[in-house]
Structure 1
Amino acid sequence: MTLPTDKPDGRLDVRTLGSTDALPVAPALGISLDAAQMPRESTLVTHRILLISALAVILGAVAAWVAQLLMLLINLITDICFYGRVSDVLGPHANQGSFVLSPADNHLGAWVILLPAIGGLAAGVMARWGSRAIQGHGIPEAMEQILTNESKIPARITWLKPLSAAFTIGTGGPFGAEGPIISTGGALGSLIGQLLRVTANERKVLLAAGAAAGMAAVFGAPLAALVLAVELLLFELRPRSLIPVALATVTAVGVRYATYGAAPVFPMPDVAEPGGWALATYVVVGGIVGFASVWVTKAVYGVEDLFEKVPVHWMWWPALGALVAGVIGWIEPRTLGVGYDNIDALVQGHFGVTMLFTFGTLKFVSWVISLGSGTSGGTLAPLFMIGGSLGALLGSGVGEVLPWFHVDIRIAALVGMAAIFAGSSRAFLTAIVFSFETTRQAACLLPLLGGCTAAYLISALLMRNTIMTEKIARRG
């Protein structure tokens, strides 16, 4: 690898290494740095890093509470709309920390078709008269502000984004809450950075810290949240960035543990270490899911292009897309809402072959059309359900035809979940670490590594941009 030389005498300026393809400079390399006549300042903890770290701790706690309040608001709207009550706001998973109330058990019949459309209309109205920046699934919008606007997110996004997401998801929209929560946490960090006298880079760190804290608070996955920030928001591995973000995620998870306990969000029964044939199967599953990740990404933006041709004002598009979600939700109620209980069922092996095919297909159609209509909602949970269904379906097929491979359908589902996220977002390490932290099954690490690697390679070969960057690329 040839490193760029950005000083007249040919020496590297380590202060710019975060924007190159070089390895990060670690403090342990101090002697080597001196020998190469390279300054050490980028490896040191300065008073500015301590200041930003202190702000990140406060931000982590605030973002954690905001994330939990948003989840409670989603549950409240779901409880009122689908069950006509306010008695189960904490939901059946409160002891696990995901505390999500499912709308799948409603008895509304065909009336359920209208509820997502009402939420979509609310999101469209807020986008038109509030800010169109609330549309989308959160992470691409945060990336765009970092890349093009010095990490400055308008203050009104801090309340418009979670409010619009609460309406769309609470009324049955087939989205995850994690995207809006990440976006809201990032907006809080950006707001703090704009109110205080900090540099553009420090504001970026605060934005990433808030976003990572939101994710960590929902899923209890601090390391995955840190890696997500590095892969999608920070674009560097340096103490000035890692230390504040790490402290923010630890603080957020501490708040979550204090409130809801330390159980994994997606509890998975203990599984055995896979044998050679089973491991090879999981790698193949990851590769096939990699093809699916390309298709899913192209489908989302293809639907966006179709809505651009609809001869009505864009404010109405989310309601139109949500009508489709409502019809599908009437046919298969499990497709409605956040659906973390469906992820539970997948990693526990509770879905049969017919359910895997039906649910995975309908969830895909519902989510792609709804998200492509320009509403507000997350991508991670729907991708996990789609990829998990496909992975479990493939694993089940291999188990029927080649039983001596000893393929575990639960591991196949988890590999499918991680692989579709790795392929569609190219957040390769995040997919692996997140899947481990939310299930705490060490036996799944090797299948996850193999499956996500295969998915990443397929995606990189077939798709130039990702589900996170395509929107930014289209805007130039």
Structure 2
Amino acid sequence: MLALAALMVGSGGALGAWVLLKAIAISTNLFWFGRLSDAPAEIIDNTLGLGIVLVPVLGSLIIGIMARFGSDKIRGHGIPEAIEAILYGESRLSLKVAVLKPLSSAISIGSGGPFGAEGPIIMTGGAIGSLFAQLFHLSAAERKTLLVAGAAAGMTAIFGTPVAAILLAVEVLLFEWKPRSFVPVAVAALVAAAWRPVLFEAGPMFPMMHAVGVTPALLGLAMLMGVVSGLQATLLSGLLYRIEDLFHRLPFHWMWWPAVGGCAVGIGGLIDAHVLGAGYASIQSLLDGSLTLRAALALLVVKAAVWLVALGSGTSGGVLAPLLLVGGALGYLAGMVLPGGNGLWALIGMGGVLSGAMRAPLMAALFTVELTGNYGLLPLTLAASAGGYAISVLIMRRSILTEKIARRGRHILQEYTVDPFDFLQAEHVMTPRPVCLKGTMSIAAVTAFFSSEARHRTYPVIDSQGRLEGMVSRSDVLRWNTMGPPPEATLSEAVSDASTPFRFPGDPLSRVADLMIETGQGRIPIVEPASKRVVGMLSRHDLLKVRHARRSAEMERSGLLASAR
């Protein structure tokens, strides 16, 4: 069902990407050339002179007004908002966001904002998937799948990177690896890939014909470059949130903050117009090795500065393209002294900085080679991605994406581990041969037992063959003392197994935990499937011990000889 729905969502995401890019082209032509056209236009061809400073301010002012009186969810780069909607908003995004996010991003990028279209299209495609899901009677998990399917479709349509889009979904958005989510997301991405030659140009977005032999030395250098790029990502992330903190100290409403950021963008444009807009042409020049030293330095320093200020001000735009530019510029400059050429190291730098900043190493490695169509360089981008990821997690507590959510009091762990409740069975954790009360005991004897010997609040009641008859609790005994069966009555007569919760030794702990929540019982008897003989008891404390043991296995270290003793 979800895969069939993903056919529609994938088409919707691709169409949303087409609308976004057309809107960016129209906005660029209007702001910089005063014409109404959807033809591709490069900001660096403008003839405004000093007027270049005013255009980003005007665009940012419009965005601030849209955010203030439309929806404040259009602020920022979109991916944190999508994550938050998935984890805390039951994967519900509104029609208002689906309309305003691409429109505000088109105005931002078209007026010179130093952003890419990927963050906005992830938010827009996600909104399309979420809105489609909300038309039907679906669970929050199913809505999440279609939201992420729409996001992956939008990213695929713009960049032509279906595999990387799926990996981004897995590493950043889904927070799970299940057939229920993977298959529909893959279907949506493939549908968008099929639409791409119709809506856009076929082939890789940044073709790069660069053949190089992958040697151990080159792999080592690529990983070292990844470490340097990871340090760059750490620096960029730290600066971004320091700048955001400075904006929060301004004595006027946040609606005006994007205009302040627009001033910085305009000044950066005066220094070098290459820093304005998405900069896709500059990415191609980096990969071709045809960029001048001055332009590469401008991308490394000025582009990074204006992007950080603009994004910190709360305007609308993505992070992928800026990261590609600043990481590519660093690699490009390193390529002047490293073997293989500037273009090769620009690509390697892109993979390293993406991995370090977004904490999505597989996506970063695949994304860079899918963008270029040069799959022979995958070992090098993978080495850079591993290096960037390693240094990033050692230095930064969170990624550039999740830090924003953490600042709202919601901390997200971007690590995938197996839940011990799903692979351990009840027999591995239960207390075997538990103390049981025989059904032949009198109510008076049971009362005396709970008054002097009882260590737990509840006990299983068994017959002469050890089979479960029911459960008796301290509250039952207190109730019987005031109103209930006479003291000489037997326990078997007072309890009933009709509603007694129990589980079997082979059941996973997750099923036992669910039963505890459903029934409110803190101790669950474990019985043999055939005979219903009680063979163990499993308590909430036992479940907590499992978590503690798992954490100890992760954190406590011991040597081989110490373990042998």
Q: Given the two structures, how large is their TM-score scaled by the length of structure 2?
A: 0.71
Tell me the CA shift for residue 353 of structure 1: 3.0
Q: What is the match of residue 403 of structure 2? A: 470
Say if 1:64 and 1:217, in contact at 8 Å, map to a contact too: yes
- Residue from 309, 316, 323 that aligns with 1:369: 309
Alignment-derived partner of residue 441 in structure 1: 374
Show the counterpart of 1:97: none
Does the CA contact (< 8 Å) of 2:328 and 2:349 recur in 1?
yes
Aligned to 2:99: 159
How big is each residue's C-alpha offset from its partner over 1:243-293, in whole Å with a ceiling of 9 and x where there is no partner? 111110111111111233421101112322233333322221111111000
Structure 2: which amino acid aligns with 1:412?
Answer: W
1:298 pairs, out of 234, 238, 244, with 238
Aligned with residue 186 of structure 2, among 226, 238, 246: 246
Query: How many Å apart are 1:81 and its aligned residue?
Result: 1.5
Alpha-carbon separation, structure 1, partners of 2:319 and 2:359: 14
Q: Report the residue type matching 1:189 in the other structure.
A: G
Aligned pair 1:147/2:87, yes or no? yes
Aligned to 1:104: 44
Q: Is the 8 A contact 1:281 1:407 kept in 2?
A: no
Aligned equivalents of 1:279 and 1:409: distance in 2? Answer: 16
Offset at 1:188?
Answer: 1.1
Match for residue 350 of structure 2 among 417, 435, 439: 417
> For residues 209 and 61 of structure 1, do their structure 2 counterparts lie closer, same or farther at Cα, with a shift above 3 Å needed?
same
Alignment partner, residue 127 of structure 2: 187
Q: Is 1:67 matched with 2:5?
A: no
- Where do 1:177-256 residues align within 5 Å? 177-256=117-196
Contact 2:75 2:314 in 1 (8 A): yes
Question: Which residue matches 2:39?
Answer: 90
CA distance in 2, matches of 1:222, 1:445: 16
Alpha-carbon distance in structure 1 between the residues aligned to 2:178 and 2:96: 31
Report the counterpart of residue 430 of structure 2 in structure 1: none
Q: How far did 1:107 drift?
A: 0.8
Code of the residue aligned with 1:140 in structure 2: it is: P
Deviation at 1:123, TM superposition (A): 0.9
SS at match of 1:156: helix
Q: Distance in 2 between matches of 1:114 and 1:357?
A: 24
Contact 1:226-1:245 at 8 Å conserved across structures: yes
Does residue 281 of structure 2 align to residue 341 of structure 1? yes
For the residues of structure 2 that align with 1:245 and 1:258, how far apart are their CA atoms?
A: 21
Asked if 1 retains the 8 angstrom alpha-carbon contact of 2:210 and 2:344, the reply is: no
Counterpart position of 2:2: 52
Match in the other structure for 1:80: 30
Q: Which whole-Å CA distance do the structure 1 matches of 2:286 and 2:216 have between them?
A: 23
2:39 counterpart letter in structure 1: L
Task: Give the alignment partner of residue 130 of structure 1, picking from 46, 49, 70.
Answer: 70
Aligned to 1:98: none
- 1: CA distance, partners of 2:373 / 2:299: 25
Which deviates more from structure 2 when the two are superposed, residues 228-237 or residues 196-205? 228-237
* Whole-angstrom distance in 1 between the partners of 2:364 and 2:218: 20
Provide the aligned C-alpha RMSD in A. 1.2
- Return the alpha-carbon distance in structure 1 between the equivalents of residues 63 and 117 of structure 2: 14
Could you state the TM-score of these two structures normalised by the residue count of structure 1?
0.84
Paired AA for residue 55 in structure 1: A
CA shift, 1:155, in A, is: 2.3
Amino acid in structure 2 at the alignment position of 1:320: V
Which ranges in structure 2 are unaligned for 5 or more consecutive residues?
A: 410-565
1: CA distance, partners of 2:160 / 2:243 = 33
- 2:270, 2:47 → 1: CA distance? 10
Higher relative contact order (CA 8 A, sep 6+): 1
1:315-330 to structure 2, matched below 5 A, reads 315-330=255-270
Match of 1:282 among 216, 222, 237: 222
**Displacement of 1:55:** 1.2
- Find out whether 1:428 has 2:377 as its counterpart: no
Partner of 1:18: none
- Match of 1:378? 318
| 1:183 shift after superposition | 0.3
Deviating more after overlay: 188-197 vs 366-375:
188-197
Check conservation: 1:436, 1:442, Cα contact below 8 A: yes
Q: Which residue of 1 aligns with 2:429?
A: none
Structure 2 CA distance for aligned equivalents of residues 443 and 409 of structure 1: 17
Shift of 1:443: 2.5
Tell me by how many angstroms 1:195 deviates.
Answer: 2.1
Distance 1:274 1:261 in 2: 30
Q: CA deviation at 1:65?
A: 1.0
Cα displacement (A) at 1:143 = 0.2
Counterparts of 1:279 and 1:149, CA distance in 2: 43
What's the CA shift string for 1:23-67, capped at 9, x where partnerless? xxxxxxxxxxxxxxxxxxxxxxxxxxxx21111111111111111
* Structure 1 equivalent of residue 383 of structure 2: 450
The equivalent of 1:387 in structure 2 is 327
Structure with the largest fraction of strand: 2
Q: Describe the SS at the equivalent of 2:335.
A: helix
Q: Say whether the 8 Å CA contact 1:285–1:395 is kept in structure 2.
A: no
AA of the residue aligned to 1:425:
M
Aligned residue type for 2:168? L
> Structure 2 CA distance, aligned partners of 1:385 and 1:355?
11
Query: Higher mean Cα deviation, 381-390 or 406-415?
Result: 406-415
Query: Which secondary structure does the structure 2 equivalent of 1:196 belong to?
Result: coil
| Pairing partner for 1:408 from 328, 341, 344 | 341
Q: What is the SS of the residue equivalent to 1:140? A: helix
**How far apart, in 1, do the equivalents of 2:165 and 2:39 lie?**
24
The letter of the residue matching 2:20 is L
Q: Find the counterpart in structure 2 of residue 9 from structure 1.
A: none
Which residues of structure 1 form unaligned runs of 5+? 1-50, 92-100, 400-405
Any idea what the Cα deviations from partners look like across 1:94-126, whole Å, max 9, x if unmatched?
xxxxxxx32111110010111111111111111
Q: Which amino acid aligns with 1:289?
A: S
The answer to whether the Cα contact below 8 Å between 1:56 and 1:247 also exists between their aligned partners in 2 is: yes
Aligned residue type for 1:433: L
Looking at structure 2, the residues matched to 157 and 451 of structure 1 have their Cα atoms a distance apart, in angstroms, of: 36
AA at the equivalent of 1:449: L
Q: 1:196, CA displacement in angstroms? A: 1.2
